[in-house]
Structure 1
Amino acid sequence: MLEVEVKYAVPSLDEVRARLIALGGEMCGSGHERDVYYNAPHRDFGETDEALRVRYTEGSCSVTYKGPKIRLKGTKAREEFNLQVDSGTTVEEILGRVGFVATAEVNKDREFFGIRGATVTLDAVEKLGTFIEIEVLAEEDGENAADLVNILAKELGVEGPPLHTSYLEMILSKQ
């Protein structure tokens, strides 16, 4: 699965939320996410541009691997694999036992909206600020997904250059 997304820092989530609803966006959920990122013992994910995370949400937990970023029509695309797990603490214990090291934690409150096959997420990220992410999951045709992401960004009136850095990279740059 290819995740095609664009992210912008925004001064107010209220304004973006109002525009999103006016365009027909429907709220799909909200909640807090705590992401614990790991680095591998055999290669540095910071150098290879990969990510391995354990995500805790209200009532569930998942493990995600993300491949290196690809630039696609001004968006960021990555191969992504997700796995639901029964116990994040057990997964973290296993990762530690085989040499993986926890490198950072990202905490965020999120609101999810669906619109035209895309997911728009409004994020308040601890220590970083407020952001909007527009994402489309594509099996193969990343270019059509990138077109939709860029059209929605324009219609939502988000301004400035898109951010191609992850929340993890932003947190690590502050440390």
Structure 2
Amino acid sequence: MTDVIEREIKVKLDVDPQKFIDRLVKEGYEYLGREVQEDIYLNGEAKDFKKTDEALRIRTVGDKIELTYKGPRMGSESKSREEITVVLDSRESMVKILEKLGYRPVYKIKKIRYTFKKENFTICVDNVEGLGNFLEVEGIDVEERELIDFFNKIKILFNLKEEVITKSYLELMVNALDHSNSN
């Protein structure tokens, strides 16, 4: 089990993600690999995570399965939350257990993630099904100011003009689905 404070900053990428990936390699960022992440988000009958600003997620990456609880936001300029994660043997069994406890799968999000490392930070280029391409900079157990300073270096180096997004992919997906249903 891991219990950490994760801080992240994300922007929508309006440039070709492959060019961005190539530039990260050229600038000396350590390439950690590509993975497909499939997330199932759950919500409770007795506890509505949308109202409490929490999340409960089951993530599958290849054969690896994790259950993560995300606490309410703590940061103002970045998305900062407590995260508690456990490794699972079976996604289906965990979903059944959670359903017995009153939780239901409500959203699925699939993304292709290219991950890089520099200093104490993880840099991810994500293609999120239905949402597009994003750059996400994450720091585990770092101060918010450290993350912002590191992100600003990347912003200048890569001439990024996009606005910072403090919403999670789940919130962006919910907004996109709500918007498409209202048309």
TM (norm. structure 1) is 0.91
| 1:81 maps to 2:84 | yes
Give the deviation of 1:76 after TM superposition: 1.5
The one of 124, 127, 135 equivalent to 2:127 is: 124
The one of 14, 19, 40 equivalent to 2:18 is: 14
- Contact 1:136-1:149 at 8 Å conserved across structures: no
1:90-149 residue CA offsets vs partner (Å, 9 max, x unmatched): 11110011100111000011111111221111111111101110101016x343334323
Give the deviation of 1:43 after TM superposition: 1.8
Unaligned runs of 5+ in 2: 178-183
Partner of 2:181: none
Where has structure 1 moved over 3 Å in runs of 4 or more?
Answer: none
The one of 48, 51, 59 equivalent to 1:47 is: 51
**CA separation in 2, counterparts of 1:59 and 1:49?**
29
- Contact 1:110-1:122 at 8 Å conserved across structures: yes
2:72 aligned counterpart, secondary structure: coil
- Contact 2:13-2:162 at 8 Å conserved across structures: no
**CA separation in 1, counterparts of 2:133 and 2:147?**
24
The number of aligned residues is 173
Identity of aligned residues (%): 30
**CA separation in 1, counterparts of 2:115 and 2:6?**
16
1:19-43 residue CA offsets vs partner (Å, 9 max, x unmatched): 3122211111111111000012222
2:164 aligned counterpart, secondary structure: coil
Partner of 2:61: 57
Partner of 2:175: 173
Partner of 2:5: 2
1:67-102 residue CA offsets vs partner (Å, 9 max, x unmatched): 112234x32211111111111111111001110011
Structure-to-structure mapping, 1:153-172, within 5 angstroms: 153-172=155-174
- Contact 1:8-1:159 at 8 Å conserved across structures: no
Structure 1 residues 146 and 83: CA distance shift in structure 2, 3 A:
farther
Unaligned runs of 5+ in 1: none
- Contact 1:2-1:142 at 8 Å conserved across structures: no
RMSD: 1.5
The one of 25, 39, 43 equivalent to 1:35 is: 39
**CA separation in 1, counterparts of 2:117 and 2:127?**
18
Partner of 1:134: 137
Amino acid at match of 2:70: K
1:77 aligned counterpart, secondary structure: strand
Between 1:39-48 and 1:105-114, the stretch displaced more is 39-48
